[in-house]
Amino acid sequence: MPESTPEPTLEVTDQHLRDLQRERLHLVTLVDILQDIAGTLNFVDVLQTITQKLGEMFGLDRCSIFLTERSGNTARLVASYEDPSIRNYVVDLGRYPELRRSLVSGEVVFIPDVQDDPNLAHMRDALANRNVKTITVVPITWRRVAIGAIFLRTDREGAAFSEEDIAFTQAVAAVAAKSLRVVYRYERLLRRHAEQTEAARRSERERIALIAYLRRLMEAVAERHGQSEEHLGRTVADELDRLVDISMAVLAEEGKGR
């Protein structure tokens, strides 16, 4: 009887296990983000949820989301992991060259060690005092234009930021861009509805004022001349009644929007 050939075994290394665990963590975090932001149409809540989830997952020293401004020289800090109370804070992009570079180019800026980056030479001591290791800036783009960025910073005791982590953050940035677009459309719809409602209210007030004016005018004329409808001939009175009925019917149809 021939000997059976043993089935090949798949060797799973520690690194492979770590990669699988990290990939699973990425997927779970992305699902959590989608579930959390699905229940709100407030853009600040959407962005704050994203910074919170990323900060917790990566164990970041700092995670913030900035939105661009028309001037191009400033940006608005609208969500922060380390201090959720910070909202709508204007920052000078001259102090954040890596953020400016990402917003202008629309590309990811990854600095593996801030002490080696010449663009951050003026901040080297401050970054060293804060024990900062890496900085990653991932743009939030809409139709190939950067409308904001996710800013991530790790300390020297934290885990190294990998290419997979950057790719995951790019996926989160894409979710943020689409969510912001939905919120923008919703808020624009609300503004349009409010404007239409206000216009309808103004039109109604004008109509009431016009009717009140005409009523008072006719009462004043009748009082001054001391005459009544009895002086009208029957034919004229009937014709006036017919014209009034037609006018009221036209106004009623107009009110229905026909």
The pLDDT, as a whole number, for residue 225 is 60
Rounded-to-integer distance, Cα 3 and Cα 140, Å = 61
Give me the pLDDT at residue 90, please: 92
* pLDDT at residue number 93: 93
Q: Which helix (H) or strand (E) holds 160?
A: none
Residues 66 and 52: their CA atoms lie apart, in Å, by: 14
* Residues of the chain predicted below pLDDT 50: 1
Measure the CA–CA gap between 127 and 173, rounded to whole angstroms.
26
pLDDT tens digit sequence for 161-176: 888 999 999 999 998 8
Domain boundaries, the chain: 14-187, 198-255
Please tell me the distance from the alpha carbon of residue 108 to that of residue 98, in angstroms, as a whole number: 10
Is the CB of residue 137 less than 8 Å from the CB of residue 166? Answer: no
pLDDT attached to residue 123: 87
- Per-residue pLDDT of 177-232, as tens digits, reads 888 887 677 667 667 767 777 777 777 777 777 777 777 767 776 666 655 556 56
pLDDT, position 258:
54
Tokens of 35: 């579930």
Positive or negative, the CA dihedral 157, 107, 88, 123 is positive
β-partners of residue 219 are none
* CA nearest neighbour of 161 among 127, 203, 132, 202: 132
pLDDT attached to residue 21? 77
Q: What 3-state DSSP class applies to 66?
A: strand
CATH domain 14-187 topology:
Beta-Lactamase (3.30.450)
